[in-house]
């Protein structure tokens, strides 16, 4: 089976989200081949889960001080700081025989691909079997504070978080693979006021990164290469490099202008009456 592979790019938060939603919407309309995309964020950004309350679950003032953009994802889940991570997006039909037709089953399949890629870096990652309950309310808004079912742990610390959207027979799964991790900055940006020393220590105990596991920096292009290999091996697919179609490019621009670059969407989760929303 042939999939489209969109090579690594480093873009701002608004364009990143617009690209992923444009591919998702185009797939709903045209039945495009499954797509895998890797990217990072410039400048550093916080992405909110679709259902989160921005001003209650992210320190908006701290983000402004750090010059960190805030964007709301079309997928669910909790807030993520994108500064030293590799983000992936998988867009495919929920009728694809490679994936079960449910969110957790899809998580499990994609996590096995990520785990295969991590193994090529010498990192043994295991899937969380049951998911963990939040220990403290002050940590619950941050994605990496606790693993959900079938998310990946390395030495019992979370290394990858995922979130998903399903609509009209297509799914979009986002995931963030930590390349490096700054628990103090994560606390400042994502957590409400509280005992920062305790919060930082708790995140340090529960979160890890590729750098920490390998013991040395790893170039992002090398991480992309092993992750691409992991998807090809686990799914028995061929990833062929491609780019956005003309229709997807047009959708991307519309989504950026009407949705992802607006405070109405990012802060309130709303779009203009004539804009695009998740149920279109």
Q: What CATH number is given for 2-265 in this structure?
A: 3.30.930.10
Task: Respond yes or no: is residue 143 known to be catalytic.
Answer: yes
CA 250 to chain CA centroid, nearest Å: 23
Q: Which of 143, 160, 187, 224 is catalytic?
A: 143
Measuring CA to CA, which residue among 233, 256, 255 is closest to residue 117? 233
pLDDT tens digit at each of 280 positions of the chain: 999 999 999 999 999 999 999 999 999 998 888 999 999 999 999 999 999 999 998 999 999 999 999 999 999 999 999 999 999 999 999 999 999 999 999 999 999 999 999 999 999 999 987 654 444 555 555 566 567 788 899 999 999 999 999 999 999 999 999 999 999 999 999 987 778 899 999 999 999 999 999 999 999 999 999 999 999 999 999 999 999 999 999 999 999 999 999 999 999 999 865 456 654 5
Measure Cα distances from 235 to 113, 196, 267, 269 in Å: 8, 42, 37, 35
Residue 111 is predicted with a pLDDT of 96
Strands 35-41 and 45-48: unpaired
Residue 265 is predicted with a pLDDT of 98
Q: What angle do CA 169, 250, 168 make, to 5 degrees?
A: 10
**pTM assigned to the model:** 0.92
Residue 167 is predicted with a pLDDT of 96
Token pair in block for residue 226: 């092993």
Residue 135 is predicted with a pLDDT of 47
């Amino acid at each position: 089976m042939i999939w489209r592979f969109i090579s690594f790019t480093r873009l701002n938060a608004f364009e990143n989200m617009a690209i992923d939603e444009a591919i998702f919407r185009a797939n709903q309309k045209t039945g495009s081949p499954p797509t895998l995309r890797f990217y990072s964020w410039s400048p550093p950004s916080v992405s909110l889960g679709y259902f989160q309350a921005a001003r209650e679950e992210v320190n908006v003032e701290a983000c402004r001080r750090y010059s960190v953009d805030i964007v709301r994802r079309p997928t669910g889940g909790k807030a993520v700081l994108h500064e030293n991570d590799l983000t992936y997006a998988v867009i495919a039909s929920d009728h694809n025989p490679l994936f079960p037709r449910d969110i957790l089953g899809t998580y499990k399949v994609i996590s096995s691909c990520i785990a295969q890629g991590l193994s090529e870096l010498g990192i043994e990652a295991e899937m969380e079997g049951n998911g963990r309950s939040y220990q403290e309310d002050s940590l619950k808004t941050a994605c990496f504070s606790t693993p959900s079912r079938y998310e990946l742990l390395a030495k019992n610390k979370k290394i990858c978080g995922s979130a998903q959207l399903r609509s009209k027979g297509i799914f979009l799964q986002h995931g963030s693979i930590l390349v490096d991790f700054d628990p103090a900055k994560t606390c400042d940006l994502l957590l409400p006021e509280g005992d920062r020393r305790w919060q930082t220590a708790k995140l340090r105990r529960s979160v890890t990164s590729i750098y920490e596991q390998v013991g040395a920096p790893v170039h992002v292009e090398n991480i992309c290469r092993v992750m691409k290999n992991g998807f090809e091996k686990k799914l028995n697919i061929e990833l062929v490099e491609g780019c956005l179609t003309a229709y997807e490019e047009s959708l991307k621009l519309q989504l950026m202008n009407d949705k992802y670059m607006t405070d109405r969407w990012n802060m309130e989760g709303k779009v203009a009456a004539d804009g695009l929303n998740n149920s279109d």
